[in-house]
Structure 1
Amino acid sequence: MTTVPFCLASASPARLTTFRHAGVEPHVVVSGVDEDAAVADATERLGELGSDDIALLLARAKCEDVAARLEEEEWDGLVLGCDSVLEFDGRTYGKPVDAAHAASRWQGMRGRSGVLHTGHWVIDLRDEGTGATLGAVCSTTVHFADLSDEEIEAYVATGEPLKAAGAFTIDGIGGPYVTGIEGDHHNVVGVSLPLVRELLSEIDVPWHHLRQDR
């Protein structure tokens, strides 16, 4: 049986690397979704959104945006959209806007814990597929080290916190500053492989049908 074509609707190098390490080589298409506008519109229509709701909303928006383009190209496969946000002190945080913002975030997070939510949305565009559109959120508690001001300054200076939801990574320079997690570690990187597997099982696609090595 041939490998099921699989598109990752994300610009995240960490998500792509995670899939590659698991034997999957996605076709990557980056969405053109205005995240702030999407959240503002949903909030106006639905009221205040929880952090997990925002993650799922944006994952779906990105997936639908890319799926619409691929459908015009008669793409015969699956599309996955993802979005991650950090819930901390009851507030929702995406990527910091600048270095000062990232430093301020870390000054508040050090020695404490937050919850990283990643929304996942799948659309089945296969010619002989289900036509399904479905999604779910994976949430992982993250415990942060009690960094000194000097450590925060040095970390922010690398530029890495500006590229990541919550201003940190677990698989990069920020790894030493995460003392522990509760939940799926893949989710903190940006995509929960076990959750993707579960979503695919709902449309009768075994995980190994995405792999190129079978």
Structure 2
Amino acid sequence: MRLVLASQSPSRRMLLENGGVSPVLHPANIDEESLIRASAGPAEETVAALARAKAETVAPLYPDDVVVGCDSMLLLDGTLQGKPHTVDATVNRWRSQRGKVAQLLTGHAVHYRGQWVVETVTTRIRFGDVSDADIEAYARSGEPLECAGAFTLEALGSWFIDSIDGDPSSVIGLSMPLLRRALYSFGLNASEFWS
């Protein structure tokens, strides 16, 4: 039995590897923008739906393995924010979020032999009052361009996050405590996946 990660996120892979797991990497190809537009529910349901869509795409290929899909978005001033993708969008995002508090929502969908655990973890992020020069340099580094909320907690972005209230691994991209609880609900132990 293996743990399959339906994601290409290096941060999620790092969390699993640091936790003793050598995941099978099978990124799911879904139309995230269409799913976001079609979602009429609360923000937490939107990110959970994205995570489930990823896991559903991959799960049929791994019927006897645990498949994990995740998606993260930042809820800032009542609006969901995805990945900025460009330097200019990153600069604009940081100028609007510096000095503020937002919620990072990470949806999880864990599948095992027809059973599902689908849940969203919410963590409060307090952004530092970052200088324009640091915002420009951070955006130009390329690091935040493909990150929910335009930041990382585990790398250069750590300079600019004053505090978090919640699960740090969820901010990085995958809640290890949630994954542990999901495995327990399936009658499995986390240690069964350690290399």
List runs of 5+ in structure 2 lacking aligned partners.
none
1: CA distance between counterparts of 2:118 and 2:192? 19
Larger Rg: 1
For 1:9, the aligned partner's letter is A
Aligned residues: 195
CA RMSD of aligned residues (A): 1.1
Partner-residue secondary structure (3-state), 2:156: coil
For 1:63, the aligned partner's letter is A
Which residues in structure 2 correspond to 1:196-207 (within 5 Å)?
196-207=179-190
2: CA distance between counterparts of 1:49 and 1:167? 24
Paired-residue identity, % = 36
For 2:68, the aligned partner's letter is L
2: CA distance between counterparts of 1:134 and 1:100? 37
Q: 1:53 aligns with which of 45, 48, 59?
A: 45
For 1:166, the aligned partner's letter is G
2: CA distance between counterparts of 1:93 and 1:79? 26
Tell me which residue corresponds to 2:16. 19
Which residues in structure 2 correspond to 1:110-121 (within 5 Å)?
110-121=98-109
CA shift at 1:82, angstroms? 0.5
Q: 2:6 aligns with which of 9, 22, 29?
A: 9
Tell me which residue corresponds to 2:84. 96
List runs of 5+ in structure 1 lacking aligned partners.
126-130
Q: Does 1:62 align with 2:50?
A: no
Kindly report structure 1 stretches of 4+ aligned residues shifted beyond 6 Å: none
Q: Tell me if structure 2 keeps the 8 A contact 1:51–1:86.
A: no
